[in-house]
Amino acid sequence: MALKIMPHGRLQEWVAEEKGYFSAEGLQYTFVTNGDYGMSAPARDEAGEVKTGAFETFGAGRSGADVSCACHWATNAAARERSGHLVTAAYSVAPCAIVVPPESPVRRPEDLAGVPIGVGYHSGSHFATVQVLESVLAPDELKLTFQGPPNERLDALLDRQVPAATTWGVPLYVAEAFGFRKVLDATFMIGFLVTGSDATKADVDKYLAALRRAQMEIDLHPELYKHYHLRSVPEKYHDQVDVRAFGTGERIVFLPYTREVFEQTQQWTEAHQLFDPAANLASAVQLDYDDAVIA
């Protein structure tokens, strides 16, 4: 049975494919690609917001993928709520920032008080924005507007439909290419989640071993692989940006996602009441670390 991999808009899977690292590890695999990092563009509500995000896609089955990624807050909660099993042998770190148009009067993080910031609901941009601004703004000064998945949010930012937005990875590089300014870094952790019933730990280990080799290759020769970023740039922007100027994006860290991190993350999301009844959590019975991870 082939492992169905959903790429995450990053370089590592494409480098592993090009260099034959998956095959060298003995992994049978296929790629599952589905729009915006596995997220479709759901309908907006009456307020013009999108109230579904990365967390909800795990409950919906993640388009048939066996292994995929999202911010560690979402993968953590999804594993705890029985929507998949957390991979604890590695995580990744995504470059992320709150950005504003070049003409914006916002210069300092404190200037974001009361300014609507476009984020993705129950997604990395949502949680990262809350985390990075809680030491800067009072709770009633933080104003979020839920503008959908990464590329939809990028469009809203570039079209000046929102005065600020939190973007990460390739959308962040695209925004910077158009002259948008970083007000505050919001780099965050991303987790791996296994949702396919046929996926085995042995297959996941082979997948990670190939990504480890790909990460080293990217670290050594980044200029050879940045062209793969173009796969994640919306086609309408292809002739307006030069991916050679981009950074290398998401970086995989081969350190364990520990029980302590798992529990601290749960405590933080619960303290901030970030998952409310509208989130449609899969189960009232929540799993602990030992049961939530892939065995």
The whole-angstrom separation of Cα 246 and Cα 234 is 15
For every residue of 4-67, DSSP letters joined together read EE---SSSHHHHHHHHTHHHHTT--EEE---TBTTB--PPP-TTS-----HHHHHHTTGGG-SE
Does residue 282 carry a pLDDT above 60?
A: no
Q: In the prediction, which pLDDT does 278 show?
A: 45
Question: Residue 170's closest CA among 114, 275, 96, 108?
Answer: 96
pLDDT, tens digit, 9 for 90 and up, residues 74-91? 999 999 988 999 999 999
Q: How confident is residue 59, by pLDDT bands cut at 50, 70 and 90? A: confident
Give 196-239 pLDDT, tens digit per residue.
888 999 999 999 999 999 999 999 999 999 999 999 999 999 99
Q: What's residue 276's pLDDT?
A: 66
The domain locations on the chain are 3-95+189-278+287-291, 96-188
- Rounded to 10°, the helix 72-80/124-133 angle is 110
> What's the pLDDT score for residue 187?
98
- Distance (Å, rounded) from C-alpha 69 to C-alpha 82? 16
> Which numeric CATH code is attached to 3-95+189-278+287-291?
3.40.190.10
The CATH fold assigned to 96-188 is D-Maltodextrin-Binding Protein; domain 2 (3.40.190)
